[in-house]
Chain A
Amino acid sequence: MNGQVQRKSNIVIHGTGSSHGGVVDVVRVHGVGTVGDDLDCREMHVHGQARFNGAVKAEVGKVHGTCDVDGSIQAEELVVNGQLTVHGDCSAETFRVRGAFRIDGLLNGDRIELTQFGPSFAKEIGGESITVRHEKVFFFSKHKSLHADVIEGDDISLEYTKAKVVRGNRIEIGRGCEVQLVEYSESFKQAKDAVVVEQRRSTKGGGQG
Chain B
Amino acid sequence: MDSDLISKKELLELTGISYGQLYRWKRKNLLPEEWFIRKSTFTGQETFFPRDKMLARIERIMRMKDDLSLDEIADQFSPNPHWRIPGTELVTRNIVTEKVWELYQQCFPRSTSLAFPEVLAVYVLDQLLRSGDVNLQEGEMVVRTMVENAADFAHKAADLVVGRKLGIAWCALVSTDAKLAFDNETKVILRLGVSKYVEELKLKVL
Contacts and interface: CB of A to CB of B under 8 A. Distances in A.
Given A150-B44, A165-B43, 15 more contacts: A108-B27, A110-B20, A126-B22, A126-B26, A128-B18, A128-B20, A128-B23, A149-B44, A164-B44, A165-B45, A167-B9, A181-B43, A181-B44, A204-B13, A208-B16
B83 interface: yes
Contacts of A126: 19, 22-23, 26
A146 B18 CA distance: 24
A168 interface: yes
B contacts with A: majority SS = helix
B149 interface: no
Question: Closest 4 interchain pairs by CB?
Answer: A128-B20, A126-B23, A208-B16, A91-B27
B192 interface: no
Interface string B194-206: 0000000000001
Interface in A38-79: 74
A5 interface: no
Contact of A154 (B9, B16, B20, B27): B20
B42 to A, nearest CB: 10
A159 interface: no
B186 interface: no
Q: Which of B9, B19, B22, B83 has the most C-beta atoms of chain A within 10 angstroms of its own C-beta?
A: B19
Contacts of A208: 13, 16
B80 interface: yes
Given A108-B27, A208-B13, A169 B18 contact: yes
Interface of A: 1-2, 74, 91, 93, 108-110, 126-129, 149-150, 152-154, 164-165, 167-169, 180-181, 183, 202-204, 208-209
B24 interface: yes
B190 interface: no
B41 to A, nearest CB: 10
A128 B19 contact: yes
Interface residues of B, number: 20
11 contacts: A108-B26, A109-B27, A126-B19, A126-B23, A128-B23, A150-B44, A164-B44, A165-B43, A168-B19, A181-B43, A181-B44
A160 to B, nearest CB: 20
A129 B18 CA distance: 11
A127 B44 contact: no
Given A1-B83, A108-B27, A204 B44 contact: no
Nearest to A203: B13
B189 interface: no
Nearest to B22: A126
A195 to B, nearest CB: 16
Contact of A204 (B12, B23, B26, B84): B12
A129 to B, nearest CB: 7
Given A152-B19, A154-B18, A168-B19, A128 B24 contact: yes
Contacts of A153: 19-20, 23
Nearest to A164: B44
A153 B22 CA distance: 10
A149 B45 contact: yes
A129 B24 CA distance: 12
